[in-house]
Amino acid sequence: METMMEIAVVLAVLNSVVLIFLLALYGNIARKTKAGYSVGLMIFAAFLLAQNLATVLSYAMMAPFFEPQALPFLSAISALEFAGLIVLAKITF
């Protein structure tokens, strides 16, 4: 696996870790406040987590089929998502 693909996979795994944290955090908020908004955020985080886990699986299994020119874009997408999730976690926590 090429270095840029490895970076994309690691970032997608990190995104999943942050999403698990956010899912637990939103769950605690929903349990304490009974707010529907927090339940909606939990559902959003769960779907985004499923998407990230599918991304990790597809990147790992399909790595030989990606052209080298596409790899920086895959890494950039994961990096931007990671940055957004970190900001969201910081604001929420």
Read off the pTM. 0.90
Tell how far CA 33 is from the center of its chain.
Answer: 26
Q: What is the pLDDT of residues 37-75, one digit of tens each?
A: 999 999 999 999 999 999 999 999 998 999 999 999 999
pLDDT score of 24 more than 90: yes
Q: DSSP states of 49-64 as a string? A: HHHHHHHHHHHHHHGG
Q: Angle CA(50)–CA(14)–CA(85) in degrees, nearest 5?
A: 75
